Chains A and B, each alone.
Chain A
Amino acid sequence: MLTLLCAATAAHAQKSTASPYSIFGYGTLANKEDAVSTGMGHSGVALAPNSWLNSKNPAAYGNLDSLSFYFNLQFKGFYGNEETRKYSQSTYSANIDAIAMGFRVTRWWGAGLGFSPYSHVGYRIDEVRGVIGSNETYTLIHEGSGGLSQAYINNAFTPLRGLTLGISTSVIWGAIKRRETASITYGEVIYNDKKYTVNNMLFEYGLQYGLNIGKTHLRIGGVYNAKTRLEAAYDQNVSNNVDGDLFHDDESRVGKFYVPQAFTAGIAALRGNWTLAADYKWYQWSDVRNGKTTESIEFRDCWSVGAGAHYAPGRVDDSYFKRLKYSFGGYYATNYFKVKGVELDNYSITAGISFPVRKWGDYINVSYEFNHGGTTSNSLIKETYHNFKIGLNIREIWFMKSQFD
């Protein structure tokens, strides 16, 4: 487990996005979810599955099977294309995405813990700028890496039949590294390195309620977190190509780093082999100002809506192919910042398939997402990504007592 956590942390330190927009704010925000949810259009906050871990809502852990220990190891990869009016380039990357585990502690208490990314930063942008007061130009290279991670403990309680309350206690931490390289013909080269180190606790509160209406099991769910201030420090080092260090500011405190207030509301319906789910998420980013990481952008409230279906035709004792599960969905999201006054958004269509590994509930969940966002107008960048997730969902029977030793 420790090995996996270390590996996951190391993975996050590597490049997990290539979006030029990750230069802004905290970078590209990540969804804390299983590959099945991704396949369903990033929906599922109202779902409480007992065959996989639903990290979108801590309350979902209240419905875990009491005999099982759940473990999920998830990988993510992407192949993308970024283009402006003049240029186009392809990128790809693959890394560990998330780790989660969960189990039922008592009849009314489910718990789990996990690790997932909160945001990704990874970009390199070359610019040619004009020198103020001159006809000359100079070159600026912007490079960034890192991002924020989230380690969480989920607890879910069932005070009433059908109602589950959950709380997710997270530690958000990470470092965002930014380097700006300025060079002018016949002159020195300056490296302006900044590293923002962020950490604090984040509490998310979840709720789920389910009831049967005829043959349909209807569920609603929600997750809320309050605006939370993050402890942030930054380290700046300016150096040049000849002398080395010119200026160093070590671990200065930076105020005004926040996780915004957010809530997600979802609805789901389960009938027969089908599961339908839809989520709406809202962030109050307009109330957040994040120091100098928000250069040239304006934070705004953003929202997303995702909906999808999951189809599980087979039973435990059916043939392998009958036990395959399918999911698909769609997703639309507005971005949490405006660049040059342009409101950016993105949409995606998703699909997934779950491959059974053993009879007893182990699955390899694979999802694919075609995501399109950005624009080439106003000298901005249009992005198209093919995202892949592979989740290894292991369900072990740990808590069954043998009648005979």
Chain B
Amino acid sequence: MSKTNRRLSALLMALAALVGWHGCSSDDFRMSETFINSGTYVECVDSVTLNLSTFKLDSVVTSHQGIVWAGAFEKKGLGTFNSESYFKLSEPSTYGWTKNERYDSITVTIYHTGGYEGDTVQDATLTIERVSQQIVKTDGQTYFYNNDCYPTSDTLGTYTYRPQPHAKPKRVFRISDDFGQELFEFIHTTSVNTSNSADKFKQYLHGLKFSLKAHSTPLMLAYKSDSISLRLHTHYNYSTPLRVTRQLTISDKGYQFNNTWTSNVPEALQVLDQEDVGVSRRIPAALTDSCTLMMEGAGYYTAISFPSLGYLLPYINYGHFLRAELLIYPDVESYSLHRLPSTFYLTRLNRENATSTPVYNSMRGQASATLVRNADNVEGTYYYVDVTYFINTLLSQEYLDEKEAVVLTWGTAMDPTNFYCLRFNGENKKRYKSKLRLYYYNYDKEGN
């Protein structure tokens, strides 16, 4: 080979290698016309049967700390929901005392939050009782349960008034002067030796209980816990009388809680209150007016199970569920649109009604229900939940437990000035029944 040939050959090989390894091409082009009959398809399956049912936890962590709820209200499908509130008071703001000081009165100051359930156009009586036991949290927990309650020794006072939660939020009223005198004596005694005054006060006054009874129909009112105070009024007999006020407020918000319970519940739900067996029972929506119940503070929850999901087990061998969405319709008679909570969370529930792991969505985050409002047709308002991963996980198992369910749990950002009680349309509702909608991608295996 001549020198020229060798150079030419080397050049050719270099060029070939360069083009061969890297080539060059334009971007992929895109067409949006259907001309391929692919063997794959996506199918919507919305005929999966759901079973909605109501179950009850024997105790739930009390909610609405920071709000004193007192009274009762009726809810369709539930009966009567009752609440009383307990709290501890701080020791008096000052102990200083001289022999010239005289007791005048003791008053209670309360502020409405504006929240209420029931009819406020009636008189109601607020009762304040003295708790006769130390208020303590169970087993070192940091919270109270809805069924925690404490005995009371005596009534310190009552106040009957026509509530106007928005127009007249502040109320001041007198309570028992006997209690006032007793508190005055306690201050007198403690002023001699103020060491350990806080402990002495805890032993002296364990706490107070607020309860409310409306005179005509059930009524529940909400008060701001951080604004509740007892004021002890005294004066000095000087030439110009000197008035003194000592204030006692709620000392620790962590020790304010609402004791809630239900009464007059429908017959179908009464079994849930039976000791031992009640917690593992679920009451189908068919027995409760085709709706299920979810009651904040009372322990009622809605469980959703998928009894016919097992029929889809063979599908998973040929495809995958791209999307699984749960559409949960609240019963239009159980809410007003602006008061629906904006979100729920979903947790797995075993056959014993014990909650386990969260339900995961397609992005592997905890599935949350998003409110989709339909202002034109309120009945069409629903909660949308992405349960894709959960459904695919269930179907990847060899065996499906028909009792396996999910439970709707309250979101953390609930409005404490409302007491939420919702009913959800069950599977046997004629319109707007809750349903599971699946989008199934069938991949075409070779040879099928």
* Contact call B20/A86, Cβ cutoff below 8 A: no
Q: Does chain B have a CB within 8 A of A73?
A: yes
Q: Does chain A have a CB within 8 A of B1?
A: yes
Given contacts A188-B322, A188-B362, A238-B320, contact A292 B446 (CB under 8 A): yes
Least CB distance, B47 to chain A, in whole angstroms: 9
Q: Which residues of B contact A188 (CB under 8 A)?
A: 320, 322-323, 362, 388
Give Cα A180 to B29, complex, Å: 15
Give Cα A92 to B24, complex, Å: 8
Q: Which residues of A contact B28 (CB under 8 A)?
A: 18, 124, 143
In chain B, positions 141-165 with a C-beta closer than 8 Å to chain A are none
Q: Which residues of B contact A236 (CB under 8 A)?
A: 443, 445-446
* Contact call A380/B12, Cβ cutoff below 8 A: no
Contact of A3 among B17, B322, B443 (CB under 8 A): B17
Give Cα A87 to B31, complex, Å: 7
* Contact call B24/A10, Cβ cutoff below 8 A: no
Least CB distance, A99 to chain B, in whole angstroms: 8
Q: Does chain A have a CB within 8 A of B45?
A: yes
* Contact call A182/B42, Cβ cutoff below 8 A: yes
Q: Does chain A have a CB within 8 A of B138?
A: no
Q: Which residues of A contact B320 (CB under 8 A)?
A: 188, 190, 238, 240, 246
Contact of B16 among A96, A132, A134, A252 (CB under 8 A): A96
Residue of A nearest to B22 (CB): A14
Q: Does chain A have a CB within 8 A of B389?
A: yes
* Contact call A242/B364, Cβ cutoff below 8 A: yes
Q: Mark A106-144, 1 if CB is under 8 A from B, else 0.
A: 000000000000000010111111011110101010110
* Contact call A93/B25, Cβ cutoff below 8 A: yes
One of B33-41, B101-109, B263-271, B304-312 at the interface: B33-41
Least CB distance, B425 to chain A, in whole angstroms: 21
* Contact call A93/B24, Cβ cutoff below 8 A: yes
Residue of B nearest to A91 (CB): B26
Give Cα A28 to B32, complex, Å: 21
Q: Which residues of A contact B41 (CB under 8 A)?
A: 129, 132
Q: Which residues of B contact A125 (CB under 8 A)?
A: 30-31, 36
Q: Which residues of A contact B12 (CB under 8 A)?
A: 73, 392, 394
Given contacts A14-B25, A94-B19, A188-B323, contact A3 B13 (CB under 8 A): yes
Least CB distance, B46 to chain A, in whole angstroms: 7
Q: Does chain B have a CB within 8 A of A271?
A: no
Give Cα A375 to B1, complex, Å: 52
Contact of B34 among A90, A127, A392 (CB under 8 A): A127
Q: Which residues of A contact B19 (CB under 8 A)?
A: 7, 11, 75, 94-96
5 pairs, A vs B, C-beta closer than 8 Å: A4-B17, A7-B16, A18-B26, A82-B29, A142-B36
Q: A136-B439, A184-B323 are in contact. List 6 more A-B contacts (CB 8 A).
A: A7-B19, A86-B33, A89-B29, A91-B29, A92-B26, A242-B364
